[in-house]
Amino acid sequence: MFVRNPDVVAEALHRAAGVCEVCVQPAPFTRKSNGTPYLEVHHKIRLADGGLDTLENAVALCPNCHRASHYG
């Protein structure tokens, strides 16, 4: 298990400003808890493969792009 830096997630989401960083479409829905756009933070190089938990290795994706990044 990897210890994730919550600041990386927060900064990636802030950088994306509610827009998927792959398909460049607005987030498909908002979080019920606080009304913010729902995007998922993904590591370009998996932590399990030696990727770093850094903003440079993170991208904010809509759920469709996140699934596609894992399963094609």
Domain total of the chain: 1
pLDDT at 34: 95
pTM: 0.91
pLDDT at 2: 81
Q: What is the CATH number of the domain that holds 62?
A: 3.40.1800
pLDDT at 1: 75
Does residue 1 sit within a domain? no
Does residue 49 sit within a domain? yes
Does residue 25 sit within a domain? yes
Does residue 30 sit within a domain? yes
Instruction: For residue 16, give its domain range.
Output: 6-71
pLDDT at 13: 97
Q: What is the pLDDT of residues 3-30, one digit of tens each?
A: 899 999 999 999 999 999 999 999 999 9
Q: What are residue 59's DSSP bridge partners?
A: 42
Whether residue 56 has pLDDT greater than 80: yes
| pLDDT mean over 25-45 | 96
Does residue 53 sit within a domain? yes
Return mean pLDDT, the chain.
96
